[in-house]
A and B are shown apart, each in its own frame.
Chain A
Amino acid sequence: MGFLKRHQTKIIIAILLLISVTALSFGIWAMWFRAPKVLDPDYAAKEAEENAEQIEESSGEKLEAPEGGGAMSLIYNKKVDIDLSEGKADFLIGNPAESTVYLVAEIVIQDQVIAQSGAIKPGYRVTELELAAGAKDILQAGGYDGKIVLYMYNSENDERAILNSEIIVDVTISE
């Protein structure tokens, strides 16, 4: 019996050791190797996008938005250039002053969010964004089909609109 008990104890120790090694491996993977993920903004961005520039030619006259709805004037192009060495994405999203909403833009490649803006207020545009943390590790030079996802928020009460928009873009990544 003594022998059997010792044997059982060894098995339990081995199983516990295996579980510990697995947990440790998972922890290392999660900390260092897991693809970075930028969460979608469920709530309005608090900070205005620091790279935003004022659009000089905006008239400032607001579009007529139906009650309970919204109105957005949007300027964009279909090209995103990413320079991995600088860690920046060049693109264009403009939200002229006529809009009743402000925007948060995400650049998405193959379901990975690689850059996210702060709030782009009416009357402002963004042409450059810093890449999200870790994005450089998963990107390589080349051309990609990508999209810019736009989330809209009511300028008066920060409520997120029931509607969002995507712009299909060509993404070119260089090192």
Chain B
Amino acid sequence: MKKSGLKTNRIIKKKNYLPLFMSLCLIGTLHPAQVQAENKTIKNINLDTAVLCQETGWEKDSHKITFGSYQETSLNYRVLHSDEDGLLLDCDTVLEIKKFDDNSNAWGDSSLKTWLGTAELCDTAEKSAVTSDRITILTDREAADYYKNTDARKKTGSSNEWWLRTTDSTLPDLYTGVVSDGVIDQYYVDTEYVGVSPALRLNPEKILFVSEKNMDKAVSLRKPAESTAKEWKLTLLTDSISAAVTEGKKVTAAEENGNTEITVSYTCSGDASQISVMLTDQEYSQTNASLLYYGKLAQVTESNKTGTAEFTLPNGYKKSGWGTEYQVYLIAEKVNGSGTDYASAPVKLSLSDEEDNKEESSVTITWQDMQFSYSKGTWDFKEHVWKGGGWTANEGCGSVTIKNTGETAVNAGFTFAPEEGEDVPEVSAVFTEDGKEFKNNSLQISASQKKTVTLGLTGKAPADYIAEKMKIGTVCITLSAEE
């Protein structure tokens, strides 16, 4: 046996007296820390994955996440730590017995790293959530800091002993690992009975939810329940699924029997299996955002990716608070039983502003006669063409005046629809205010304000055109709310 009896580099976990102090505070008094601890209650579905981490270090009954698989068996990972580098997961089992290397303790060139780079431990979508796309093994520092005790570090599987990445190697033929009793020790690099147990960091920005492993997501909108579960799964954000409110449709609310019924028309793409809705206390991507309500709106199939769904706003949630006191999101999800689920980027829903729309608006529109004359211009004897011709408004013709007699601003858009017909000359319109064209042919008119717009026509009539009185188009004024 080459197993090292060398304990020179054993890493001893530093004692942390903070938990003891906190416990004393909790037992002795109603210290504010108690309130803080209660706020971190774990629900059966959570936006924040950090709730699964235990500050005192991972121990035997701490949380695990199902993520990926090896040789068609799902893998469970221990949730060790969460920080700005991501969510640190360590596999619950030892997958294969592997030598670290034949003769070197350099991680970068080791055969163990090469094996990890080629082993299929998760699918492409899962891998995209792994930071740097890299599955690795735990470092000796991480194993020391994020496990509560030696007992917690114990693993089973192909071996009871597993490799760690050495952060401070002094001897070229030694490398760290965890021995069967959970102690961190050193092995010769070519030891043949130590196994590989993968570890990885997940990008929190790619994780939408962490939910109970066996949670039924096909439920109507409800408040997440408190949970004592230890096995969890992730819902990862993916670009391959999308959700949207159907173009041209709005999210509406109707009061029925004291309830507020919300109607939303949805469209999704990708291989989504359901449309879900969630309510959060702030923007879902904020660090401290909490999930208030979650539920399924509709089943989605390959052939039916659009529809209209309804849900009832929970008691105590008012329309007036939508978008300020709470946010509402539409999500397309691919739910995969106990495996990793996938979700579209949540789409924030806005409620159609009915109250504003119920306000009366009023305008007066006066328009002059719209008679125009066409002149061919003067004949150029040298070039044999008509020059200087065009359309001019007859005297007292061509202008429209709009006065906003209401209390809110309105937008007035101007369009010209040419008349169709073989004998009708092709013209296009130019709208001006005080001789100047205006952006998008649209004017904002404030309360009590009056604006006058003049129509001009451009375009050449055919050389054989004989002027006669005919309708050549219609002016349309589009009134809309202030943009």
A interface with B by C-beta (< 8 Å): 63-79, 92, 94, 98, 110, 140-145, 147, 161-170, 172, 174
Task: Please determine whether B252 and A142 come into contact, CB atoms closer than 8 angstroms.
Answer: yes
A residues in contact with B95, CB < 8 Å: none
Which residue of A65, A162, A167 is within 8 Å of B480 (Cβ)?
Answer: A167
Q: Say whether chain A's binding surface is mostly helix, strand, loop, or mixed.
A: strand
Task: Please determine whether A75 and B400 come into contact, CB atoms closer than 8 angstroms.
Answer: no
Task: Please determine whether A76 and B479 come into contact, CB atoms closer than 8 angstroms.
Answer: yes
Q: How far is the CB of B245 from chain A (nearest CB, A)?
A: 9
Task: Please determine whether B308 and A68 come into contact, CB atoms closer than 8 angstroms.
Answer: no
B residues in contact with A164, CB < 8 Å: 474-477
**Which of B183-191, B202-210, B212-220, B358-366 faces chain A?**
B358-366
Task: Please determine whether A165 and B400 come into contact, CB atoms closer than 8 angstroms.
Answer: no
Q: Which 7 A-B pairs have the closest CB atoms?
A: A68-B369, A143-B250, A79-B357, A168-B480, A143-B252, A71-B366, A78-B357
B10 contacts chain A at the CB level, 8 A cutoff? no
Q: How far is the CB of B403 from chain A (nearest CB, A)?
A: 9
Q: How far is the CB of A96 from chain B (nearest CB, A)?
A: 8
Q: How large is the interface on B (under 10, 10 to 19, 20 to 34, 35 or more residues)?
A: 35 or more
Which residue of B352, B361, B405, B477 is within 8 Å of A172 (Cβ)?
Answer: B352
Q: How far is the CB of A53 from chain B (nearest CB, A)?
A: 14
Q: State the CA gap A65–B400 with chains docked (Å).
A: 11
A residues in contact with B246, CB < 8 Å: 142
B residues in contact with A77, CB < 8 Å: 357-361
Task: Please determine whether B367 and A70 come into contact, CB atoms closer than 8 angstroms.
Answer: yes
Task: Please determine whether A69 and B478 come into contact, CB atoms closer than 8 angstroms.
Answer: no
Q: How far is the CB of B54 from chain A (nearest CB, A)?
A: 46
Q: State the CA gap A74–B478 with chains docked (Å).
A: 13
Q: State the CA gap A12–B251 with chains docked (Å).
A: 56
Q: How far is the CB of A76 from chain B (nearest CB, A)?
A: 6
Q: State the CA gap A166–B358 with chains docked (Å).
A: 17
Q: State the CA gap A167–B219 with chains docked (Å).
A: 41
A78-B481, A98-B364 known, 20 other contacts, Cβ within 8 Å: A65-B366, A67-B396, A71-B366, A72-B365, A73-B364, A73-B405, A77-B357, A142-B252, A142-B263, A142-B265, A143-B252, A143-B265, A144-B249, A163-B365, A163-B474, A163-B476, A164-B477, A169-B357, A172-B250, A172-B263
Q: Which of B350-408 contact A (CB under 8 A)?
A: 352-354, 356-371, 396-397, 400, 405
Q: State the CA gap A154–B169 with chains docked (Å).
A: 96
B interface with A by C-beta (< 8 Å): 246, 248-252, 254, 263-265, 308, 310, 352-354, 356-371, 396-397, 400, 405, 471, 474-481
Q: State the CA gap A74–B405 with chains docked (Å).
A: 9
Which residue of B249, B356, B396, B477 is within 8 Å of A165 (Cβ)?
Answer: B477
A residues in contact with B308, CB < 8 Å: 140-142
A residues in contact with B263, CB < 8 Å: 141-143, 172, 174
Of chain B, the residue at the smallest CB distance from A65 is: B366
Task: Please determine whether B400 and A163 come into contact, CB atoms closer than 8 angstroms.
Answer: yes
Q: Say whether chain B's binding surface is mostly helix, strand, loop, or mixed.
A: strand
Of chain A, the residue at the smallest CB distance from B417 is: A164
Q: How far is the CB of A21 from chain B (nearest CB, A)?
A: 28
Task: Please determine whether A163 and B364 come into contact, CB atoms closer than 8 angstroms.
Answer: no
Task: Please determine whether A168 and B477 come into contact, CB atoms closer than 8 angstroms.
Answer: no
A residues in contact with B396, CB < 8 Å: 66-68
Task: Please determine whether A74 and B363 come into contact, CB atoms closer than 8 angstroms.
Answer: yes
A residues in contact with B370, CB < 8 Å: 69, 162-163
What are 13 contact pairs spanning A and B, CB under 8 A? A66-B368, A69-B368, A69-B369, A72-B364, A73-B363, A74-B362, A74-B365, A78-B356, A78-B480, A79-B354, A140-B308, A142-B264, A165-B479
Which residue of B252, B366, B471 is within 8 Å of A64 (Cβ)?
Answer: B366
Task: Please determine whether A76 and B364 come into contact, CB atoms closer than 8 angstroms.
Answer: no
Q: Knowing A76-B361, A165-B479 are in contact, say whether A145-B249 is a contact too (CB < 8 A).
A: yes
Q: Knowing A76-B479, A142-B252, A144-B250 are in contact, say whether A92-B360 is a contact too (CB < 8 A).
A: yes
Task: Please determine whether A162 and B360 come into contact, CB atoms closer than 8 angstroms.
Answer: no
Task: Please determine whether B478 and A168 come into contact, CB atoms closer than 8 angstroms.
Answer: yes
Task: Please determine whether A66 and B369 come into contact, CB atoms closer than 8 angstroms.
Answer: yes
A residues in contact with B477, CB < 8 Å: 163-166
Of chain B, the residue at the smallest CB distance from A166 is: B478
B residues in contact with A143, CB < 8 Å: 249-252, 263, 265, 352
Task: Please determine whether B254 and A163 come into contact, CB atoms closer than 8 angstroms.
Answer: no
Q: State the CA gap A141–B352 with chains docked (Å).
A: 14
Which residue of A68, A72, A98, A165 is within 8 Å of B371 (Cβ)?
Answer: A68
A residues in contact with B369, CB < 8 Å: 66-69
Which residue of A74, A98, A145, A161 is within 8 Å of B367 (Cβ)?
Answer: A161
Q: State the CA gap A8–B368 with chains docked (Å).
A: 69
Q: Knowing A143-B251, A166-B476 are in contact, say whether A71-B265 is a contact too (CB < 8 A).
A: no
Q: How far is the CB of B115 from chain A (nearest CB, A)?
A: 54
B residues in contact with A169, CB < 8 Å: 357
Which of A64, A77, A92 has the most CB atoms of chain B within a 10 A radius of its CB? Answer: A77
B residues in contact with A70, CB < 8 Å: 366-367
Task: Please determine whether B358 and A79 come into contact, CB atoms closer than 8 angstroms.
Answer: yes
B residues in contact with A141, CB < 8 Å: 263, 308, 310
Of chain A, the residue at the smallest CB distance from B481 is: A78
Which residue of A67, A140, A163 is within 8 Å of B475 (Cβ)?
Answer: A163
Q: State the CA gap A153–B366 with chains docked (Å).
A: 13
Task: Please determine whether B368 and A78 come into contact, CB atoms closer than 8 angstroms.
Answer: no
Task: Please determine whether A73 and B367 come into contact, CB atoms closer than 8 angstroms.
Answer: no
Q: State the CA gap A172–B356 with chains docked (Å).
A: 14
Q: State the CA gap A161–B360 with chains docked (Å).
A: 25
Q: State the CA gap A76–B400 with chains docked (Å).
A: 19
Q: State the CA gap A167–B360 with chains docked (Å).
A: 12
Q: State the CA gap A108–B249 with chains docked (Å).
A: 14
